[in-house]
């Protein structure tokens, strides 16, 4: 029996600051019944979970709080019609409590409402559906925090930061005034009061987090900060009790440690909000309300009320709220945020509209084909969230190091104190140990990789390249060869009329018009190409049109019998094509398909030779050249005829015929990928159809064209990256971004490890004051964040 499908959940978590926090939360969540997989993303303050059906939101919250963190909840109120007595209240309570993500349900009979607390991921539509299934008419009012978790944390940090510095600056005043010949030293008791206020006021957050880490047997950087600042305060209090003068105390060290760390964390919180700007930009493309046709009138309703089949009205300048078909009106839409397409797209009745696109022109009406939660925009947001929460292989190494870093630093600090004590200078040793504890905080190490990954994946999504996970981004940066399918990838994927050679008295336009007359109503791709080529030109109406399987079309135009089809069909009609075979062979060598137009009987004759070709995409040559300039080898694997593959390759500038192969079955493409990989090459494959899926899955990086039909959906499922808009220029842009991201990750890791390698010996030797250590630690974290944020301009 197959396993039940897992449920994906983005769980917001507040209070995390470093890699040790990440390791602690991942370890705790992994032990919760029903959790199959847990990955925590520090830069987004959330965990990406795979859950078994029947998971409990209450159990997840309890685990997170046990680890010393919190899960922010959405507050909501359901107004119910039909809520009259205790039995109704019990039925409503039981129905809503079963909705995944609901934590607390409180029914108010008097107000005919239900107060809810739920995870932010809980779908409003699920709450409404549960209430209505229980027999109630329901309306939903939510009170979600509009600023989000990071904004709330940033506000709390700002409050603590201002208070900490207001109390610390008087302690630092003597040091600042001394170069000017001023002596502003405060009495020892006043220093003690100010330092204690910082320690147990703004600094209480570090004690709380340190205790939670110890209880979870996973100490983090908060323990280092709490120990370091407490040691400085304790040493100063002991010296004050022993009668030391104001100049001999270290009260400013403990206070400044906390103040500098709070400054660093506040700046980190601001930077972390910036790293997720691309994702939040996508989320904000969905309007909160939508105009729906209800009870004979247009009404403004919450987006959660929208259902498939609803009539939806969208005004100029508004975002399209759901996927649907345009039913009334014409307009242009801007899909730049969704696909990277820079130009407005014309839409007319019958055309597909995507959620999140901007309506530029008139008032339009559409029929919804999906709920808002199932729209292409919602799926894109979920996929980007999942990708940003995933971890690149290089990040897992950093996480393992960071998880073992805190115990190692505690041992180093203890060893430093012991060595200095054995030399008879335990006071100086205590100061050195405090510096070790502070400077070694692994903030930079924990932020080095995830910040760059989040910015890189978000930036790629804004440019129309959807990255499945962080590992794919890292692999993309290291590929040597990129392999393309032909039809639908390098070419448009649909035949076009590319040439007409009149063979009798008729001219080109007459041959085209006669052929289009036969092609009207046929579903054959070549017939559709003829109708499209004819466009708005007048087309005669043929009668008695029949399709002859494998041969072509025949029909009448007045008294004239017409035939359109292959050389074999012409031979069956008794018409010799030999005199024009050289021209036909020349077209075939270019990869074109050939059709003949003939008339008769009684006067049977050839009227024209028509050639059809699949034109290369307009941007294909430029994209290939850009990839070659980045050092990649480009190859072409096609299921089409070898001559057609060679013709397209020649048009697109392929220089090595060994890199072009035609007439391949799906298993042949798969074998070619395996052969290149066996030679040690890292291979990316670009394709669009079902026949490309095996090769896409086997390649180190599979890139699927994302704007096609069912075949494209299968290809996208097998690929690790998807082009949201079929523009091949996005591939070299994505490759350039991936390489810059990997370079930023490596730079960050070198800096993070190098910083500790340089500063720890200085701190152990007593050459680094605790206050300087806290400032250096904060500067290190900001250096890493700033380097990652440079990718936003890539």
Question: Which whole-number Å values give the CA distances from 164 to 160, 168, 254, in the listed order?
Answer: 6, 6, 11
Question: Which whole-number Å values give the CA distances from 32 to 16, 36, 57, 63, in the listed order?
Answer: 19, 9, 11, 7
Q: Is-cis flag, bond preceding 602, omega within 30?
A: yes
Phi, psi (deg, nearest 5) at residue 753: -70, -40
> How many CB atoms lie under 10 A from the CB of residue 738?
26
Question: In whole angstroms, what is the distance from residue 466 CA to residue 412 CA?
Answer: 44
> How many CB atoms lie under 10 A from the CB of residue 319?
19
Q: DSSP characters for 568-607? A: HHHHHTT---GGGHHHHHHHHHTT-EEEEEEE-SSS-EEE
Do residues 322 and 368 touch, judged by C-beta distance below 8 A? yes
Phi, psi (deg, nearest 5) at residue 164: -60, -45
For the chain, the residue count is 794
Do residues 448 and 751 touch, judged by C-beta distance below 8 A? yes
Q: Tell me the chain's radius of gyration from C-alpha atoms.
A: 34
Handedness of CA 596, 597, 602, 604 (dihedral sign): negative
Do residues 406 and 24 touch, judged by C-beta distance below 8 A? no
Contacts (Cβ under 8 Å, ≥6 apart) of 277: 458, 792
| Angle, alpha carbons 229-404-452 (nearest 5°) | 90
Do residues 572 and 551 touch, judged by C-beta distance below 8 A? yes
Q: DSSP characters for 402-463? A: HHHHHHHHHHHHHHHHHHHHHTT-HHHHHHHHHHHHHHT-THHHHHHHHHHHHHHHHHHHHT
Phi, psi (deg, nearest 5) at residue 793: -100, 5
Do residues 193 and 209 touch, judged by C-beta distance below 8 A? no
Query: Sheet holding 35-41: strands in order across?
Result: 7-12, 46-51, 35-41
Catalytic residue list: 485
| Angle, alpha carbons 33-38-41 (nearest 5°) | 145
Distance of CA 563 to the CA centre of its chain: 53
> How many CB atoms lie under 10 A from the CB of residue 53?
10
Tokens of 618: 């307009």
Nearest Cα residue to 276 out of 42, 435, 501: 42
Phi, psi (deg, nearest 5) at residue 178: -60, -40
Do residues 615 and 496 touch, judged by C-beta distance below 8 A? yes
Question: In whole angstroms, what is the distance from residue 261 CA to residue 437 CA?
Answer: 13
Do residues 681 and 655 touch, judged by C-beta distance below 8 A? no
């Amino acid at each position: 029996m197959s396993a039940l499908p897992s449920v994906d959940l983005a769980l917001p978590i507040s209070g995390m600051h470093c890699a040790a926090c990440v390791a602690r939360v991942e370890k705790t969540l992994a032990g919760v019944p029903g959790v199959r997989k847990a990955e925590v993303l520090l830069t987004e303050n959330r965990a990406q979970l795979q859950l078994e059906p029947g998971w409990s939101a209450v159990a997840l919250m309890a685990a997170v709080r046990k680890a010393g963190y919190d899960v922010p909840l959405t507050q909501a109120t359901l107004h119910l019609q039909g809520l009259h007595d205790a039995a109704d209240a019990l039925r409503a309570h039981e129905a809503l409590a079963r909705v995944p993500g609901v934590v607390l349900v409180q029914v108010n009979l008097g107000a005919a409402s239900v107060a809810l607390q739920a995870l932010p991921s809980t779908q409003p539509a699920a709450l409404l559906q549960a209430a209505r299934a229980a027999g109630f008419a329901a309306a939903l009012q939510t009170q979600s925090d509009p600023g989000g978790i990071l904004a709330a944390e940033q506000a709390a940090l700002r409050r603590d930061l201002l208070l900490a510095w207001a109390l610390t600056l008087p302690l630092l005043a003597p040091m600042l005034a001394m170069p000017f010949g001023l002596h502003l030293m405060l009495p020892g008791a006043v220093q003690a009061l100010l330092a204690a206020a910082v320690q147990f006021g703004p600094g209480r957050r570090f004690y709380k987090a340190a205790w939670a880490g110890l209880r979870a047997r996973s100490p983090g950087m908060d323990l280092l900060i709490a120990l370091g600042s407490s040691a400085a305060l304790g040493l100063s209090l002991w010296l004050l009790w022993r009668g030391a003068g104001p100049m001999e105390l270290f009260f400013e060290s403990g206070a400044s440690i906390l103040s500098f760390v709070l400054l660093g964390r506040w700046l980190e919180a601001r930077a972390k909000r910036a790293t997720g700007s691309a994702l939040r930009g996508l989320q904000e493309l969905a309007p909160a309300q939508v105009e729906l046709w209800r009870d004979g009138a247009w009404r403004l309703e919450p987006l959660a009320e929208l259902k498939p089949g609803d009539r939806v009205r969208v005004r100029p300048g508004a975002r399209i709220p759901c996927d649907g078909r345009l039913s009334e009106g014409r307009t242009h839409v801007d899909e730049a945020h969704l696909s990277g397409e820079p130009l407005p797209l014309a839409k007319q009745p019958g055309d597909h509209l995507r959620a999140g696109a901007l309506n530029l022109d008139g008032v339009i009406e559409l029929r919804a084909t999906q709920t808002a939660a199932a729209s292409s925009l919602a799926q894109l947001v979920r996929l980007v969230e999942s990708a940003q929460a995933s971890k690149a292989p290089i990040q897992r190494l950093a996480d393992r190091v960071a998880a073992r870093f805190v115990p190692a630093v505690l041992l180093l600090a203890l060893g430093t104190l012991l060595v200095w004590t054995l030399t008879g200078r335990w006071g100086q040793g205590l100061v050195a140990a405090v510096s070790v504890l502070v400077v070694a905080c692994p903030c930079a190490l924990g932020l080095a990789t995830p910040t760059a990954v989040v910015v890189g994946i978000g930036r790629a999504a804004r440019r129309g390249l959807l990255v499945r996970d962080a590992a794919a981004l890292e692999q993309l940066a290291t590929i040597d060869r990129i392999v393309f399918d032909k039809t639908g990838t390098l070419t448009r994927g649909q035949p076009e009329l590319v040439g007409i050679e009149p063979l009798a008295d008729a001219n080109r336009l007459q041959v085209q018009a006669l052929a289009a007359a036969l092609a009207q109503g046929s579903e054959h791709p070549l017939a559709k190409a003829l109708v499209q080529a004819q466009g708005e030109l007048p087309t005669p109406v043929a009668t008695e049109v029949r399709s002859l399987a494998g041969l072509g079309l025949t029909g009448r135009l007045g008294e004239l019998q017409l035939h359109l089809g292959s050389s074999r069909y012409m031979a069956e009609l008794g018409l010799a094509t030999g005199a024009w075979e050289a021209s036909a062979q020349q077209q075939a060598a270019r990869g074109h398909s050939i059709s003949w137009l003939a008339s008769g009987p009684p006067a049977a004759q050839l009227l024209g030779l028509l050639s059809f070709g699949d034109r290369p995409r307009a941007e294909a040559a430029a994209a290939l050249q850009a990839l070659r300039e980045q050092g990649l080898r480009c190859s072409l694997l096609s299921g089409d005829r070898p001559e057609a593959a060679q013709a397209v390759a020649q048009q697109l500038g392929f220089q090595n015929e060994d890199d072009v192969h035609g007439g391949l079955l799906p298993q042949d493409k798969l074998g070619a990928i395996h052969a290149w990989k066996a030679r040690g090459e890292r291979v990316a494959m670009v394709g669009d159809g079902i026949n490309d899926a095996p090769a896409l899955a086997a390649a180190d990086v599979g890139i699927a064209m994302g704007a096609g039909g069912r075949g494209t959906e299968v290809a996208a499922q097998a690929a690790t990256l998807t082009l949201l808009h079929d523009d091949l220029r996005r591939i070299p842009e994505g490759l350039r971004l991936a390489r810059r991201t990997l370079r930023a990750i490596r730079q960050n890791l070198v800096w993070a490890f190098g910083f500790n390698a340089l500063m720890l010996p200085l701190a152990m030797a007593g050459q680094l004051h605790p206050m300087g250590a806290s400032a250096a630690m904060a500067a290190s974290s900001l250096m890493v964040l700033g380097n990652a944020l440079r990718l936003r301009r890539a």
